[in-house]
């Protein structure tokens, strides 16, 4: 009898191979790194104690509002303006993810936010890519294998998406695998950037769109049907088109389309709990959507702001929703199937890393 339907321990979750599609580079800095750099450049912080700073970010992001949540990024972005600091932050990101058992990650950043001290967008992107390569090597020296690819974001409230999208295409063979738009959702519909998404499609380039997080179904509909998004960042508000009061649940036209077309949902439960979408993992729609066999994935969004990790997100699903090895393996395979790297490379990680490790660890 296989143990795949059993619940893993937290320690086993940590060792299981994980895939991460939605993590912001400026949302995952080590508190001590922020303090080190802030002191060097004279940036004022709420506190210079690492534990207190970590708690400041977490509690400031607990407001129930995406707009207030996003204000905390002023401090992380402030310490990512020099080339060497961007490289360091990206290197540490790769190392930290690898220590948590992540084997594949797509980490996103808006390069337009880190050019305040004179770096060009291209130099900012090159610093991120250099940091990831260094981090992969450092992880290897610690015995962890990870592949970290980059997604470039345009900020919805700025006018730079087209330039950033062109750079995503230019750097597509150097580690950039796709594009996204981030920032406040309400008032900035995806169709504002329609020309850019049409450009990316003409270039056969990959993109995901933050949609259905702080705003509902119209945002999801635009992202998929007008803009052609391959994946949805969050997408959690797709539940507005599902009637759970019936058994089985009744799906509307849009939620049926999302499920039928296997549109990947990059779900980030802790982040959603902080911005007011749900009050706990137990009540977050992730488990219900997984049961309905949507192509759900589990992600961190901002590890610093949510004081989280992939292991923690997964362990909470085990503890609060009775998720088993099988459930965790399914979201991991979903993530790899939905990754923006070439098909055979996705398959290779699924077949040679994920399946064998799940088989081994679940039989312990």
Whole-angstrom Cα distance, residue 265 to residue 273?
16
Site track for ligand 2ND across 65-84, x = CB under 6 A:
-----x--x---x-------
ω into residue 106 within 30 of 0, thus cis?
Answer: no
Residue 153 beta carbon to Zn ion: minimum distance, rounded to whole angstroms: 9
Annotate each residue in 258-297 with x if it binds ligand 2ND (CB under 6 A) or - if it does not, as one string.
-------------x--------------------------
Which residue lies nearest ligand 2ND, judged by its C-beta? 182
Residue with the two structure tokens 């690819």: 149
Would you say 112 or 301 has its CB closer to Zn ion?
301
Q: How far is CA 204 from CA 168, 178, 201, in A?
A: 12, 10, 5
Give dist(CA 40, CA 212) in Å, integer: 39
The site for ligand 2ND, by CB under 6 A, has a size of: 18
24 is known to lie in a ligand binding site:
yes
Check the annotation: does 195 bind a ligand.
Answer: no
> Any known ligand binding at 279?
no
Taking CB under 6 A as the criterion, the residue among 8, 16, 21, 27 binding ligand 2ND is 27
Q: Please give the backbone phi and psi of residue 177, each rounded to the nearest 5 degrees, phi first.
A: -110, 0
92 binds, among ligand 2ND, Zn ion, none (CB under 5 to 8 A by kind): none
Stretch that binds ligand 2ND, among 21-29, 40-48, 259-267, 292-300 (CB under 6 A): 21-29
Cα 196 to Cα 229: distance, rounded to the nearest angstrom: 12
Residue ranges in 279-308 that form contacts with Zn ion under rule CB under 5 A = 301
# binding residues, Zn ion (CB under 5 A): 1
Binding at 308: pick from ligand 2ND, Zn ion, none (beta carbon under 5-8 Å per type): none
Pick out residues in 221-250 that bind ligand 2ND (CB under 6 A): none
User: Quick one: tokens of 241?
Assistant: 């088109």
Report what 230 binds from ligand 2ND, Zn ion, none; CB cut-off 5-8 Å by kind: none
Tell me: does residue 182 bind ligand 2ND (CB under 6 A): yes
Q: Identify which of residues 301 and 327 has a Cβ nearer to Zn ion in the complex.
A: 301
Q: Is 109 in the site for ligand 2ND (CB under 6 A)?
A: yes
Taking CB within 5 to 8 Å according to partner kind, which of ligand 2ND, Zn ion, none is near residue 136?
Answer: none
The number of residues in the chain equals 364
Question: Would you say 24 and 108 are in contact if contact means Cβ atoms under 8 Å apart?
Answer: yes
Q: Closer to ligand 2ND by CB, 85 or 327: give it.
A: 85
Q: Does position 108 bind ligand 2ND by CB under 6 A?
A: yes
The yes-or-no answer on residue 55 being catalytic is no
Q: Does 210 bind ligand 2ND (CB under 6 A)?
A: yes
Residue 26 engages Zn ion in binding (rule: CB under 5 A): no
Task: Please pick, from the candidates 21, 86, 107, 110, the single residue that binds ligand 2ND as defined by CB under 6 A.
Answer: 110
Catalytic one of 106, 126, 213, 230:
213
Compute the least distance from the CB of residue 74 to ligand 2ND, in Å.
9
Catalytically active residues, by annotation: 213
Binding site members for substrate? 24, 26, 183
Give the residues lining the site for ligand 2ND (CB under 6 A). Answer: 24, 26-27, 70, 73, 77, 108-110, 113, 153, 182-183, 210, 213, 271, 301-302
Binding site members? 22, 24, 26, 183, 210, 301
């Amino acid at each position: 009898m296989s143990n795949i339907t059993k619940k893993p321990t937290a320690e086993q979750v940590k060792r299981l191979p994980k895939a991460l599609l939605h993590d912001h580079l400026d949302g995952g800095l080590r508190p001590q790194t922020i303090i080190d750099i802030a002191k060097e450049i004279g940036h004022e912080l709420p506190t210079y104690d690492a534990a207190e700073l970590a708690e400041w970010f977490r509690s400031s992001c607990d407001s129930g509002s995406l707009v207030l949540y996003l204000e905390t990024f002023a401090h992380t972005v402030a310490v990512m303006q020099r080339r060497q600091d961007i490289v360091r932050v990206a290197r540490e990101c790769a190392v930290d993810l690898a220590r948590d058992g992540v084997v594949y990650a797509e980490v996103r950043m808006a390069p337009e936010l880190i050019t305040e001290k004179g770096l060009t967008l291209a130099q900012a992107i090159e610093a991120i890519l250099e940091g990831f390569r260094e981090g992969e090597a450092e992880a290897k020296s610690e015995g962890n294998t990870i592949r970290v690819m980059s997604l470039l974001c345009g900020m919805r409230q700025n006018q730079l998406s087209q330039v950033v999208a062109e750079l995503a295409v230019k750097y597509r063979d150097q580690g950039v695998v796709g594009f996204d738009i981030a920032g406040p959702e309400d008032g900035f519909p995806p169709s504002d950037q329609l020309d850019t998404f049409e450009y990316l499609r003409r270039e056969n380039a990959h993109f995901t769109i933050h949609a259905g997080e702080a705003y509902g179904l119209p945002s999801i509909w635009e992202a998929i049907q007008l803009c052609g998004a391959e994946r949805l960042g969050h997408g959690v508000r797709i539940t507005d088109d599902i009637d759970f009061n019936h058994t089985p649940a009744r799906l509307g036209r849009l939620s049926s389309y999302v499920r039928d077309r296997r549109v990947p949902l990059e779900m980030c439960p802790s982040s959603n709990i902080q911005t007011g979408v749900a009050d706990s993992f137990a009540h977050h729609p992730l488990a219900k959507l997984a049961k309905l066999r949507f192509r759900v994935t589990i992600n961190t969004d901002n590890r610093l702001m949510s004081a989280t990790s992939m292991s923690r997100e997964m362990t909470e699903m085990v503890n609060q929703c009775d998720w088993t090895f099988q459930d965790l393996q399914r979201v991991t395979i979903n993530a790899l199937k939905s990754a923006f790297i070439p098909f055979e490379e996705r398959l290779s990680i699924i077949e040679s890393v994920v399946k064998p490790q799940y088989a081994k660890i679940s039989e312990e």
